[in-house]
Every structure is written in C-alpha cells, then in structure tokens.
Structure 1
C-alpha cells in the first residue's frame, strides 16, 4: 500500500520520499529499520529531563482521562470536494477531543466495518448517479451479500451532488438507505448538498459535532462548528474568497476554417500566493450573458435597477447585476420548477411536475433555460425579489489547469472550448466559455481559486512511466503533466493519446508536443483525427492498434490517466483497456476487470472526467 497524506501522519514531501524508498528495501533492511526506529524512540525517552517528566505526566493524565469516542470518516470523491470536507471535519472533531480515523473509501478495509462505532460518510455522485471511482469498492461491498449486520453502528451521510442532474445525490442516498437496511442507526439525518454546498455542509458539521459531543460528554469548541472553508493553505484566497486574476493572454488555438473555437487563457496569480500541482483545476466565477439577462428582465416586465437580496446575509444588488453575477439562469432544475409553480397561476407547470410525467419533465429541463420557463408558464404572480429567491447561486466553472506551477511561477494556463448551439429557435451559449471567447480582454480580471484534485496526480516516482489519454480539451492537464516533468528533469517514459476532428485546424498545442518529443520529455504520441478519414477514428482505436506495447507499459508499472467526456469517451477508453488487458495478457474478462481494478486501487488508473 502506498503512503498518502490522508492515511499517514506525514507531509506530502515526506510521503513522496518514503514511497520512493520503501519499495526498494529488502526484508532484512526493513527489519533493521524497524528495530532502529524502536531504539531511537526508546532512547528519546531515556533521559529524565524536565521536558520528559512533563511529557510523562501528561501521558499519565491522558491514561486517567475517559477514553475518547472513536469516529471513522470515509470519503468518496472524484474531484476532491468530499475529500477536502472530510479533512476539515476530521480536524474539527479531533480538536473536540474525539479519536478520528480518516480514510478514502478505496483504502478502507471493509472487514473492519463491524468494529466501527460511529461512521461519517462524505460522498459525491458522479455522472448519472454513479459512485466516484474511489468509492466504488466500498459501495459494491456494502451492497453485496458479504455486507455484515451493523446493529451497533451509528452513522450519518453528507451527500454532494448537482440538482441539474436527474439522480441528484444518488450515491449518498444509496449509502444512507443501505446502512439502515443493515441495521445501523442514524446519528443525524442525511444532508444533500447542491453545487453551492458551503452552508448546508457547515450545518451538517455542527449537527454531527453536537451529536458526538453528547455521546462522549465532551463540549464542542467554537472551532468545531466553524465554517468549512477556514483552511485553504497559506493563501488568503479560496473558493469563498476568490482572487481577481488579470488576463495575460487569450488566444484561439483552432485554425481558420475550424468549426470549433478553443481558447488558450493565461492568467496572472502574482500577489495571490496561490499554488497548484498538475492535475488540479482552476475555479472561475463567470458572468451570465448580458443579452440573456436583459431578455429575462424584459420578459417579466421588471425594473432592472430594483434592489434584490443576493444571499442569506441580506446583501442587496440591482436586479440586472444580480442576474448577471449571482444567480444561475442557463440551467433548470427540478427544485427550481417546484418552487416556481407557487409563483404562477398557469396550470401547465403543475401538470409538467405531476407524477407520471418524469420523462417529459426530464426532456423539458434538459433543453431549456430560465427564459424558456418564464415565457412558457406565465403570467407570473411574483415580485423580482420573490422570483430570484428561488434561483440557485451561479456556481464556479472548473477547468483543468494546463500549465506547471514550477515552469510558470505566478501564472496559470487554461484550455477552454467555447460552447455555442441552437435549440428551440434560439441561440444558446456556455456561460464561462463564451465570456472568455467574446467578452474577455487582456488586462481584464476574473475571480478565481485553486481547486485541488488529489485523485488525479502524477506518480511520486519521477522514473515511473505514464500513459495519458485526452482528446480535445481533455488534453489540458497532460500539457501540465509533461511540462512539469520536463521542468523537473523526470526520466520516466510518457505516452500521449490525443484526438480531435481535423489535423490542420484542431491539433491543440501541436508545437508544444513536437518540442517535448524532440527534447525527450514526451516519449510517444499517437493521434486520431476523426473527420480526416472516411471512417471515424478515435483515441480508443489507436490504443487497440498499439495494444501489445501498451500492455507492456502497464506490466512495467505505468500509470494510466484519462481526461475528458465521461458519457462516451471515458467508457469507450475503459472498454478498450479491458480488451487490451484480456487479449495481450491472456486473461478472462473477469481477470481483466480485476487487473484494472487493482490498478485503480494502486492509484495507477486515474480519471478526470465530466
């Protein structure tokens, strides 16, 4: 098992050093080191200094104190939100005097579950109701016949999700229901969080903290119920306090004649003290299209300068500014429609929400925005203040970072494809992507923060080979991977599979890849341009063509990374990997699946898919 910051008391630097050292030790060396550490520990307590006496007195006092209640915190996280929340909760409960064990669901040993007293689960839902990759083993165990009766267990679940998806917080709901079926008792009720999760998560923290305090007769400290965003590293800037980053460069990467527009955006982080690693994302708080905002205000006959509240603290802004900067107007969700039905006498919306109309409701939500809702189900019996109170906050957009912090101090680079399409007779636009493409000039600023993703990271060993699969803008983090390795002089082999529509117009960062191949930072590159041939060719086809060599890399210890579209590409690439392992490794389909699952367990199969 590889050491991690989350499953050990070591820092990230110490973990990386130990992971390089320990696999290379012989049994004799391990035994000697174990004895040496024991001797060092004994020696450190041999001298009866005043400090040691005080330490021994403290230890004796601790042994006389009541045994602290043990709490196990498990997280299932695809992009890192649940993991960050779990670490914050662990810190607060430890300050409260509780014995806390914090671990990823993938690293938790299910056969120890019956020994757990109090279990806190923090888990997101990925794709169409699926568990995150690192939650899947525990999820499958708990839903199998091997799951034990848990009559002595108390639990609580914090579920993260996005209410614009049909299966909102489904993984958290599944865990909550299954634990109840196995006999466990709820410590506190499950809380389901939308994309704006700070306040409900903090309330769940306080509820759990209070319940555990009552059980262990330990009074909660003020810090134990503080907000969840009080620890974001050394920088003062965070998700709840973004940095205004100046635009240094904004270039269209696609050639003339391309049907696509992909912007290479360079932002200054100077003065922010924000740090990032390859695999992390940058969060941007965007602005809604001003044209859409004006159409919405006009359709409802409101005064654009009317003051409305934009948060629970009662902060007031002009309606036009609030709709542009604070509220989501391009995405509909079922909860919004369920609140909107109270504000109109139009029976059509009630019928749409009626039981039995799930398919029709899903189709309506998928294709429309707030302006459609306003136009379809008026007249509206609501003031501007009442109407905006039912809207979700405008969430940040996350983009994979396309640069190395080591190679570009005080800068961050992004790869953003403009989203434009027409439906129901009206042009539609991606909120952040078209802001970047159409309304963002050099010298402008964007509110940003670093979104760390601990589940998509380069191997600690710079000599380890890596295989990267990233078509389209999915190639962004791999530009950071290769640039980082080039900057640090890593010697491990690297292989990139890249695809897009046309070689001449859509080969993103072509000169960068060519330079890194020439310099040796990138060992191999295979490309697939789907519209340049009669038969469409994608990255998974190139992988299958090179299946034997790819499997040899896996056997040599290569880590595999996938970034891009989850619904189609990621599934097709996963299937191609299984085929290659089965065919080239001489394995059955079950053995190939187990092989790939083992890679995932070893953190050698990582995905950043959306």
Structure 2
C-alpha cells in the first residue's frame, strides 16, 4: 500500500502533493515526526495571523517577517530558475522571512501593483526572448496596461548563455521595465552564464542578508514566525547528486539507407527512488570525447598528466578537460581570456561590444581547439588554458516513456550530432558519448528535470501533438500514460521526418495505438520523399478545418522539436489556421493563440 492510498492529497494542489510524495520517500520515522510538529506549529502561527486555511489553500503572499510582502517570481524554460527560486525561499525562511514563490506562467500580473518586495529569477530563451511559459507576463508588464509600481522594491537575477548575442536579455528587460514603472531597485541586477551556481548563490545571500537586516531593526513582535531549524533531509538524487543509471538498451530505430542516425536508449533507475511524469526530461552528465581532449592538449602544447586545481581539488589536465569543462563550443569568456594572454589583434577587436555580431559568427565557426591553434601561446600552463572555459553542463533529453508502464526504466530518443568543421569531423558531447563510447551494462550519471509546462491535461480533454524527428519522444510517453490510465480522450499526432521507409520512428507503436483507439488520428510528413518538401505545418494547413474544430472543442496543443525553424513555423501556422477558420483578422488570431497559452492549452518543449 502506498502513502497516496492512505493519505489522498485533499486540499493540496497536484504540484504540492508531488512534493509531499517526494519528501515521504526520503525521510525516516524520526524526521517524519519532526515535520509533523513543525507543520502543526506553522498552522498555529497562521491561525494567529487570521490566515487559517485561506493562506494554505489559495495563492497570495504571506506577510514577510519585516512587515512587507515578499514574492519570488520566476520564469523558466528548463527548470533552473525554479530551483533557484525555491532555494532562495528556503534561505529566506531560514532567516525568518516568509516568501511566496510563483511561476510567471501562473502569476496574475495585475497583482503587481499590490506587491511590495519582488525578487525575480528569469532565464533567457534563444535570442533575447523570455521563456515560453512567461511570455504572457512579459507582454503585460511591457504593455500599456502595466501599472505604476511606485511602492514596489525589486531585484533581478538573470540567467543566460553568453554564446548568444542578447545575453540575459529577458532579465535585462524586466530590470529596465520595473525601473520605468517606478519600482525601487533593492540590488543591482546580476547576469549569470551557464555556470550560474556561484553568482546566483552570492546574489541570494546578499538579498536575504539585506532583508534580514531590516527585520532585525523591527520590534520582535513584528515577526509572525520564529526561525525554525531545518532537519537534515536524507540524500536524494538530483542535478548536483546524479544517479548512476545502467544502460539496458541502445538500438538504432531508423531503417537501412536512412540519411540520419536515431537511437532509442533505455536507462535503469532501479534503486534511485527517482520518479517522473510524461513531459519531463532526463539530464545526462556526459563526458567529452577523449580524442577531442587529446587534440586540445596537443594544440596547447601541454601534457595530459599535468596537474590542475579545480576548487581546491587537484586533477590531471586530461581528466579535468574530459569531465569538468566545455571544450567544444567556445564562448565570449574564452575570447576574453585568450585575447588577454595572446594580445592577438583579431581577438581584441572581437571583444568590443559593437562587434557582437561578428564575435558570434566567429564563435560559430571556431571551437576552442580552433582558437588555440590559430592563436598559439607557447609556454601557457594548464591553469591558463582552463581559466576561460565554462563548466561542462548536463544535457537534457525529453523522456519517451511513462513510468506507469516502464516502472524503473526511463527511455529517450536521440539523434547524434555530427558535422564537419575546418576539415575535421566534430560531434555533440552527450550524443556522441551515448552513441559511440558507452556499452550496454555501463552506467552514466543522470537525474530527472521536471517540466510542469508540458503536461497532459486532466481527464479526457482532446490533445493535438506536433513533433518532428526526436521531438516525437514525449508523445510516446503521453500515449503510454493515457493507455495506462484508461482515458478515452481523443488524440491527434502530427509527425514529420525525412523518409517514410527509413525514418518512421516508433511506427509499429503508433499503428497499434491507432488500432486500439488510444490514438485517434495521425498525419505524417516525410520531407524527402517528394521533390516539393512537406513538413508538419503543411499537414496542419491541409487539415485546418478539423484542427480548428478540435481547438473549439477544448483541445490542448503540444509542440516539440527544433526551436530555430520547426517551432516558429508551427506557431505561425497555428495563427494562420485560427485566422482562416474563425473569420477574424490576424490580430484576433494572435489573441486567440495567446489565450491558449495563458490557459495552458498550448505548450511547447523546443530546443
């Protein structure tokens, strides 16, 4: 019998119940009794405040210990901002400050004028755009309906990737806009690259210290909660402590003669306690190709066994480059480092802000090893080489299975990245690791990355799933889940790939689901079977009347795939379908699609 069978979620939201279930798996009996007493005291404090069940059951900021409301707003695409926002709230709680943590996707923007202290954690998507779930929040605050925020104080933590031209632009936009609306800045904005942990922790500590210092100046009775020591939680597997999962299957799922390679990979999570839902991703902590490591060490004129120190730990240079650093894609940070050491005029020129576009074009055409070869530095040591490198980041892959069906297994669908640059074959870090250098039975570190913005609807609401290539992976999980749950809701899949005979991924499974009516409809587009290339958006237009009818009947739309071409083309096609079928103009159609997004009926998982 599970905990869920004994204690249904009651007044908790599904997300809150998820947290309770996750916690129940990692606490012992003593810790459970401690938590029981803690929450009993917490409830008593709420009753004294006159909050009672209202504070627990309904959104709304609990008064901070300083007498001001404290709200932590986050906008996220991959979950990093979520983790940072929750960690910030925990740090604040440890200092007697009570904060409400709210996803921008679920926040009612008109509440802004009622806020007092707002801490913003937001990532940037692509070339300066906000995360997809936060688009509605940005449209409101940057629009003419945004209220004056004269009584609001704020600070912004911006996450981004410096290899993009508009680095941390979403955070910069909110920072500017809050100021324009009259809000007072608590701390200067902090911009974080992909290795965000240390600057984010420093920002979090500084803002908590500032607010806690204000609290200390108030009379003791102003604080509704006393600081409560937090019990040490049992170890859990996550991004910082990944689980060593065994590779139990790794097969090519394209046919003979295919112009690309696509694999179905199964990982064993037995003993991890990890759980996931359809729509989530698995994070894989991969290693760099030893051949690429060797090429970089050779280009730098160094020895693989030369010692280097990373955060007080000594390793060989070869081990550090294989496990700790991004050595393929170069970044502006590396240009800064190498320009400073080499004095190369070309690199110095690329550092200038006005040459941002030229710098990004240079980075697209040069990996780290190419820069080291082009601008050699005789006499450099290992520390000098790694100083400009960014930490090696895990890679996320959409999960292609439902845990209700596969149990302790997690499945992914992967197409290895391979290309030529400067006359040499290059490959993606994680995809090449999985496809070329790991054997069945071996293990690799993994964790689960939740994606609450790509979820099946409750009950039997119809769903329309649009995916190209490996973007079909989460829909396999969706249909496995619906079959396991016995839901009878209609489902429609649009799938695109290159060739019908070789690239119809999971064809037998789709056909089986069609026969069993788990999948109601399927439209396919194989772009290279005909002279005139056909993609999923063309099939959508051909079925425009039915597509719009499904929307009007409450269908939820999902898009998974390439963010550069496929996703924007599908988005534009969705607007065109609404415009042509509703009889309204383009503006009305765009409003319709925005309403779908605001109602969480249009969700995207793009990369």
- TM score, norm. by length of structure 1: 0.86
1:126 alignment counterpart: 125
* Structure 1 residue 216 displacement after superposition: 2.5
Residue of structure 1 equivalent to 2:208: 209
Shift of the 58–258 alpha-carbon distance from structure 1 to 2, 3 Å rule, reads: closer
SS at match of 1:244: strand
Shift in CA distance, 223/491, structure 1 to aligned 2, threshold 3 Å: farther
Pairing 1:487-502 to 2, within 5 Å after superposition: 487-502=484-499
- Equivalent in the alignment of 1:376: 374
CA distance in 2: counterparts of 1:223 and 1:340, whole angstroms = 48
Q: Aligned equivalents of 2:571 and 2:418: distance in 1?
A: 29
Cα 1:117–1:56 shift into 2, 3 Å: closer
Q: Deviations over 1:79-135 (max 9, x none)?
A: 222123223323443453334233222333333322211011111101111011222
Q: How far apart in 1 are the matches of 2:253 and 2:315?
A: 37
* Separation in 1, partners of 2:42, 2:111: 36
Match of 1:434 among 432, 435, 453: 432
Q: Which residue of 1 aligns with 2:249?
A: 249
For the residue of structure 1 that corresponds to 2:595, the secondary structure is helix
Equivalent of 1:385 in 368, 373, 383? 383
Instruction: Please report how far the alpha carbon of residue 139 of structure 1 lies from its aligned counterpart in structure 2 after TM superposition.
Output: 1.5
1:293 aligns with 2:293: yes
Decide whether the 8 Å contact of 1:69 with 1:98 is kept in 2: no
1:474 alignment counterpart:
471
* Residue 405 (structure 1) aligns with: 403
Are 2:450 and 1:452 equivalent residues in the alignment?
Answer: yes
C-alpha distance in structure 1 between counterparts of 2:44 and 2:343, whole Å: 74
Matched-pair contact (CA < 8 Å) for 2:479–2:519: yes
Query: How far does the alpha carbon of each residue in 1:144-187 deviate from its partner, in whole angstroms, 9 at most, with x for none?
Result: 23333323221011111112222111100111122122222221
Aligned to 1:316: 314
Question: SS at the partner of 2:203?
Answer: helix
CA distance in 2, matches of 1:434, 1:486: 33
Following superposition, the deviation at residue 14 of structure 1 comes to 8.1
Partners of 1:585 and 1:239 in 2: CA distance? 46
SS of structure 1 residue aligned to 2:118: strand
Contact 2:163–2:360 (CA<8 Å) still a contact in 1?
Answer: no
CA distance in 2, matches of 1:58, 1:498: 51
Q: CA deviation at 1:53?
A: 13
- Which residue of structure 1 lines up, in the alignment, with residue 418 of structure 2? 420
Query: Where do 5+ consecutive residues of structure 1 fail to align?
Result: 1-7, 17-51
C-alpha separation in 2, matches of 1:224 and 1:348 = 57
On the 8 A contact 2:65/2:97 being kept in 1, the answer is: no
What SS does the aligned partner of 2:501 have? helix
Q: How many residues align?
A: 559
- The gaps in structure 2 that reach 5 residues or longer are 1-9, 19-39, 52-63
User: Aligned equivalents of 2:81 and 2:514: distance in 1?
Assistant: 37
Equivalences for 1:133-152 in 2 at 5 Å? 133-152=132-151
Q: CA deviation at 1:507?
A: 0.8
- For residue 406 of structure 1, give the secondary structure of its aligned residue in structure 2: helix
Aligned to 1:507, which of 473, 482, 504?
A: 504
> 8 Å contact 1:465–1:553 — kept in the other structure?
yes
| CA contact 1:527–1:539 (8 Å) conserved in 2 | yes
Q: TM-score, normalised by structure 2?
A: 0.87
Partner of 1:304: 304
SS in structure 2 of the partner of residue 470 of structure 1 = strand
* Equivalent position of 1:187 in the other structure: 186
Contact 1:345/1:379 (CA < 8 Å) preserved in 2?
no
Q: Secondary structure, in 3 states, of the residue corresponding to 1:362?
A: helix
Distance 1:57 1:176 in 2: 35
Q: Is the 8 A contact 2:560 2:604 kept in 1?
A: yes
Aligned to 2:392: 394
| 1:303-382 mapped onto 2 (5 Å cutoff) | 303-310=303-310, 312=311, 314-354=312-352, 356-382=354-380
Deviation at 1:341, TM superposition (A): 1.5
How many angstroms apart in 2 are the aligned matches of 1:55 and 1:182? 37
Within 5 A, what are the aligned runs for 1:85-164? 85-164=84-163
Whole-Å separation in 1 of the counterparts to 2:92 and 2:429: 39
Does the C-alpha gap of structure 1 residues 509 and 55 become closer, same or farther in structure 2, counting only changes over 3 Å?
A: closer
Cα deviation, residue 224, structure 1: 10
CA distance in 1, matches of 2:485, 2:403: 11
Tell me, yes or no, if the aligned pair for 1:543 and 1:576 is still in contact at 8 Å: yes
The alignment status of 1:275 with 2:272, answered yes or no, reads no
Q: Aligned residue for 1:22?
A: none
